[in-house]
Structure 1
């Protein structure tokens, strides 16, 4: 509890923005691969980008949702959330996921049901109090997962996902129910279960330098597989925490391997990650481009005179 209070105090008092220098990561030796991204990073992006999209579009009412969520995700009706639970900032959405390349099949069946939890709304004191300082939303999330599982059944794989606080809620579902796969994005380190409890069934994607990583270093990672990307080295720690830029980056990377991801890039006019080589208006070259020019990732550029206000 002391760590949680300290974290919130830090978030409320910290002003300005912090940027990080360019760092050497797993992608540095991969200049001759598409976009300069190593094969295992591209493979992980193909696996995870649908869940990043689902986590983004759980923020209903925000102005930066995906207008087109792609050919393999379908939003389905969820249970009504009780007023007392909604007042604590809790929300979620359910998506059905279909196999890649199956859009033309009229008889296709879902391969997974995605339970996507809304994360922390930094403008909502209820989210901070009930989600970060107390465990109320954890118990609520477990209750709604059980209700949705009873409604839909367990014949299709359940996947829990979320950003920030939503990632912590997805962690709890996966820890308590070992059959549930979980994907977490810029996830909160404030969860209740033991970090290694079913951690082989969880995957985390974090943006390098986003604000919650300052606190995550004091606790064990909630997942066995953790990917740290540096999609936007010029941005400040609070801007880096947002889920939409991370989801855009993952989808762009996945599009080098997956035609359905490329369709999402095109439908939403996604821009290349800031770190990737090429001009800001670079068009995505498509899936498995036939010729690869060396792609050296770009570090932090010189800031304008008035600084980075993000």
Structure 2
């Protein structure tokens, strides 16, 4: 279990973020400035709506304090490569999805440590772990933004090679992700079983609400259907590996994944049960302006 935390967990996250970087170009970031309204809707959904919905569900389902913190950590995480792939499968605007993932991942390096400390204190009070916000931020920078930057650099210097490499790296990331999720559940099997009846419905409902929100905002703000699809999936699909990693980083010298990581580990399974059928439903929708 020590190797899961010290090797596979950060390695899986770093490879996932490296894969994200391979799919990014500087033009993806320039599109943000060219389409401020669309990006603002997606960013607002990720930075405000997701934590708000998660907080309400934590209260409604009366999750134990450690699991409540874990669910908020998940809600603070950006979308990931999985969201980009699902957006492509659904016929959404992939460039918008990648732009949102890239920039919100940058914001997360600063927002996640601060808000994780806040929610830990809020739900656990004096029992909250002592969270070194600076140390957590540096750790996130090293295992998220550095791999993304390397991926972007490779894509800029050798685009053809980057695209071929991405196909390999993406598959490797999936394998490592499975190892992390299975290991997390195995290490916390008793806690997982004791809280499954409450935790799984809360996470499934979170997924459903957030996926639906993207389509709703698309109708309200008059976005195109591909834009709404991208925002829907970016809002509804979080980076579970990052959530597991952050949950383990806030516990010093952990020899097993703590309960803080459990919601993200369970979500790593339930999100596919909800997202895949939703994506195929979106795929069948006509591409038209949503007025």
TM band (smaller chain) = under 0.3
TM-score normalized by structure 1?
0.25
More helix by share: 2
More strand by share: 1
TM-score normalized by structure 2?
0.27
